[in-house]
Amino acid sequence: MNNTMIKGKKILITGGTGSFGSTMVKFLLDLNPREIVIFSRDELKQFEMRNAYNDEKLTFVIGDTRDYNSIYKALNGVDYVFHAAALKQVPTVEFFPMEGVKTNILGSNNVLNASISQNVKKVVVLSTDKAVYPINAMGMSKALMEKVMISLAREVHAEEWKTKLCGVRYGNVMYSRGSVIPFFVDLIKQNKDLTITDPSMTRFLLPLADSVELVLFALTKGENGSIYVKKAPAATVLTIAQALCELFQYDESKMKIVGIRAGEKMHETLISREEWQRVQNEGNFYSIPVETQELDYDKYYSVGKKTKNDKEGYTSDNTKQLSVNQTKKLLLSLPEIQDELKKLDLLPIKKNNGKVIKLN
Active site residues: 130
Asked whether the beta carbons of 258 and 199 are under 8 A apart, the reply is: no
| Phi and psi angles of residue 148, each rounded to the nearest 5 degrees, phi first | -65, -45
Nearest to 196 by CA among 175, 180, 177: 180
**How far apart are alpha carbons 238 and 255 in whole angstroms?**
9
The DSSP code for 34 is S
Taking residue 251's Cβ as centre, other Cβ atoms within 10 Å add up to 12
Asked whether the beta carbons of 74 and 10 are under 8 A apart, the reply is: no
Q: Which stretches does DSSP call E strand in 44-152?
A: 58-62, 80-83, 122-128
Looking at the DSSP bridge assignments, the partners of residue 119 are none
Asked whether the beta carbons of 268 and 130 are under 8 A apart, the reply is: yes
Q: Which residues contact 226 (CB under 8 A, 6 or more apart)?
A: 166, 167, 218, 287, 288, 289, 290
3-state helix, strand, coil in the chain (%, to 5): 40, 20, 40
Asked whether the beta carbons of 25 and 38 are under 8 A apart, the reply is: yes
**How far apart are alpha carbons 89 and 10 in whole angstroms?**
30
